[in-house]
């Protein structure tokens, strides 16, 4: 194929995690695994953190793939936690970093409080256990879940969430993340596009979901993660319809956290349902994409 061949068959995966948040691979290992899985364009979207992006960019050059600098911002909307992915963000943008720093400060306080609540519930050492698993990076409920599962408090990580870490459970700490408006302000200020992550996963009525998307569009939000590793096939189709109704661009991402979860693999995604407009259609993917199609 020639140098100017259209990048028709690029494989995109626009949602993934590394050790910089609650993933279990380093950014370099993640990029190498994505390349081996045939991914041409990978977004690294750690929770409230962009500290893995520089290493991932270096690894992507070596592996011959495109790295999209991203972040997954935790948002409180209508008393629920919503995740907004920022794609192609300039990680050097000061207001973005100030915002993310504030979110991480809330995370640190929340982790201590989770430890205190679990201790009251008879589970000692959970905070220390989570800290040890976070490798000095952000502390997520995932780190608590691994500690609790490994110490026999539940049969699996999923069961730990169900019994201890979801709202109204003993280890759950309510609190305020960024508002939707703040998150979009940080992402847009940093030159990025905002995408509502795994929209089918939130427990909310159809009318509340429409309200969320209405406000998101009003604030200038661009995309909906129509295809997600945490969606069923049916979810993908209903989210495609929702994206069309709200004139949102469609994104696709595995939400890969590590090889220990065999259900989710990098780049293993359903193609966007017919009628979706892909968020990457307008992207200029320079060198790396040309390498991929030549
Ligand atoms: P946090 O941002 O610290 O509140 O943690 C949220 C993370 O926990 C998500 O990004 C997932 O990686 C993980 N998580 C949430 N719910 C579950 C669940 N039911 N089973 C396994 N992991 C979950
Ligand atoms: Mn996570
Ligand atoms: Mn998420
Ligand atoms: Mn995620």
Contact indicator for 221, 194 with CB cutoff of 8 Å:
yes
Q: Is residue 2 part of a domain?
A: no
- Which of 22, 110, 137, 178 gets mutated to test ligand 1 (max ligand atoms within 8 A of its CB)? 22
Residues with CB under 6 A from ligand 1: 22, 47, 74, 140-142, 157-158, 161, 257
* Same-domain status, 180 and 264: yes
Q: Is residue 170 part of a domain?
A: no
Hey, whose CA ends up nearest to atom 9 of ligand 1? 142
Is the Cα dihedral 241, 184, 52, 87 positive or negative?
Answer: positive
Indicate if the pLDDT at residue 72 is higher than 60.
yes
pLDDT digits (tens, 9 = 90+) for 160-179: 999 999 999 999 999 999 99
pLDDT digits (tens, 9 = 90+) for 10-35: 999 999 999 999 999 999 999 999 99
* Same-domain status, 156 and 215: no
* Same-domain status, 151 and 186: no
| pTM of the complete model | 0.96
Q: Measure the CA–CA gap between 137 and 115, rounded to whole angstroms.
A: 17
Hey, whose CA ends up nearest to atom 21 of ligand 1? 158
Ligand 3 geometric centre to CA of 72 (Å): 7
- 94: tokens are 């000061």
Counting Cα atoms < 13 Å in the Cβ hemisphere of 210 gives: 7
Alpha-carbon distances of 287 from 9, 32, 38, 65, 251, rounded to whole Å: 16, 18, 17, 9, 22
* Same-domain status, 137 and 239: no
* Same-domain status, 208 and 260: yes
Contact indicator for 99, 71 with CB cutoff of 8 Å:
no
């Amino acid at each position: 194929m020639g140098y100017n061949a259209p990048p028709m068959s690029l494989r995109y995966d626009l949602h993934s995690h590394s050790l910089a948040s609650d993933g279990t691979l380093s950014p370099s290992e993640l990029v190498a695994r994505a390349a081996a899985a045939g991914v041409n364009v990978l977004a690294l979207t750690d929770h409230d953190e962009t500290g893995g992006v520089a290493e991932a960019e270096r690894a992507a050059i070596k592996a011959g793939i495109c790295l999209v600098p991203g972040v997954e911002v935790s948002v409180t909307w209508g008393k629920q936690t919503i995740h907004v992915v920022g794609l192609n963000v300039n990680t050097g943008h000061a207001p973005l970093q100030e915002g993310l720093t504030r979110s991480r400060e809330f995370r640190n306080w929340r982790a201590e409080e989770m430890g205190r609540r679990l201790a009251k519930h008879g589970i000692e050492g959970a905070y220390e256990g989570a800290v040890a698993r976070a490798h000095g990076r952000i502390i997520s409920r995932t780190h608590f879940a691994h500690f609790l599962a490994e110490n026999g408090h539940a049969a699996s990580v999923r069961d730990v969430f169900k019994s201890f870490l979801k709202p109204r459970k003993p280890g759950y700490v309510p609190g305020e993340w960024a508002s939707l408006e703040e998150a979009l302000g940080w992402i847009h200020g940093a030159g990025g596009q905002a995408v509502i992550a795994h929209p089918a996963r939130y427990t909310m009525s159809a009318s509340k979901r429409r309200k969320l998307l209405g406000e998101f569009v009003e604030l200038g939000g661009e995309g909906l993660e129509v295809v997600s590793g945490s969606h069923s096939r049916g979810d993908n189709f209903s989210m495609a319809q929702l994206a069309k109704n709200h004139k949102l661009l469609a994104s696709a991402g595995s939400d890969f956290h590590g090889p220990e979860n065999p259900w989710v693999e990098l780049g293993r995604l359903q193609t966007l349902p017919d009628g979706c407009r892909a968020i990457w259609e307008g992207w200029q993917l320079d060198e790396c994409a040309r390498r991929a199609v030549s």
